[in-house]
Amino acid sequence: MQTRAEHEVFGGKQGFYEHESALCKGPMRFAVFTPSRAANEPVPVLYYLAGLTCNEETFVIKAGAQRVAEELGLAIVTLDTSPRAQRYAGDDENWDFGLGAGFYVDATVAPWSESYRMRSYVTRELRDLVEARFPVDNSRRGIFGHSMGGHGALTIALDLPGEYQSCSAFAPIVAPSQVPWGKKALPRYLGDDSAAWARYDAVELLKTRRFPGELLVDQGLADKFLERELKPELLESACKDAGQALRLRRHAGYDHSYYFIATFVEDHLRHHAKALRAVA
């Protein structure tokens, strides 16, 4: 692991790092905010999954989360949204597929299957690295994300409920099997059999899975992707049918941008802190 930069912020430390990933077949970058409390004891850790076109710096720079994370004693890990070292034909032709658009799946279709292993990267390789190298408590672990990353957070939390004790999402893609973004990406990464997509679809997972805690989801009603790609009503209905605790908040006037995330990120951090304190 290489340190690219470290900065003092609100008493904690914001670091930017790089390591050689066996799963992604090349260097991958990530960032960690470590609160000052970690100097004395391991702290709970949140993994944030960014959306389409973003990278490990986007949330760090735009969300304004460090002040509250320092107050609550939370570490926050951010990461890139796809492999970058391995290049494939057509990987940069569209902003919503390929580079910056790994969809947090383990691809099974060539050539993507060679290095687009983002599900295992998030839940195994990067997680193992962070929890070995940083003063975080691996028994108090949460996950959250935005848009494509909200899809990743919800599906990971539902698929691996014992490994994450808190979960939230901003404007998530809740049913990729049913919307254009997912119908574009999932067949290319996973093949044409829609049964293979279910593990990466929160609405489908809720037919057989439950997350033991409450899911917090915020959605802006001025989001230009709301009706075409996001469809939070599908998650609402699936949670109701499954008996899954969900707090879905709709906000008039808010769009899909990081202005929306910055407005409500404190609520999300407090949601995670409360759930993770209950684990201790």
Q: Over the stretch 264-279, which tens digit does the pLDDT of each residue have?
A: 999 999 999 999 987 6
Average pLDDT of the chain to the nearest whole number: 97
The residue annotated as part of the active site, out of 82, 147, 166, 168, is: 147
Would strands 12-21 and 26-34 be described as parallel, antiparallel, or unpaired? Answer: antiparallel
Element counts in the chain: helices (H) and strands (E): 9, 9
Task: Tell which CATH architecture fits domain 2-279.
Answer: 3-Layer(aba) Sandwich (3.40)
Instruction: Supply the pLDDT for residue 278.
Output: 78
Would the pLDDT of 181 be above 60? yes
CA dihedral (49, 50, 56, 59) positive or negative: negative
pLDDT tens digits, 189-220: 999 998 999 999 999 999 999 999 999 999 99
Q: Are 43 and 135 in contact (CB under 8 A)?
A: yes
How confident is the model over 31-49, as pLDDT tens digits? 999 999 999 999 999 999 9
Q: What is the mean pLDDT of residues 140-156?
A: 98
pLDDT at 157 over 90: yes
147 assigned to active site:
yes
For residue 280, pLDDT beyond 60: no
Q: Which of 155, 169, 83, 164 is nearest to 121 (CA)?
A: 83
The answer to whether residue 168 is catalytic is no
Model pLDDT, residue 199: 94
Q: Which of 146, 256, 271, 272 does the annotation list as catalytic?
A: 256
> Could you say which of 146, 223, 271, 272 is catalytic?
223
- Which residue from 99, 80, 101, 104 is spatially nearest to 31, judged by alpha carbons? 80
pLDDT above 80 for 80: yes
Spatial distance between the Cα atoms of 103 and 121, rounded to a whole number of angstroms? 12
* pTM for the model: 0.97
* Residue that wins the pLDDT comparison between 148 and 280: 148
Annotation marks residue 256 as catalytic? yes
Instruction: Give the count of beta carbons closer than 10 Å to the beta carbon of residue 87.
Output: 14
252: helix, coil or strand?
A: coil
DSSP code at position 39: G
Cβ within 8 Å of residue 46, ≥6 positions away: 69, 74, 75, 76, 77, 141, 142, 143, 144, 166, 269, 272
The pLDDT of residue 10: 98
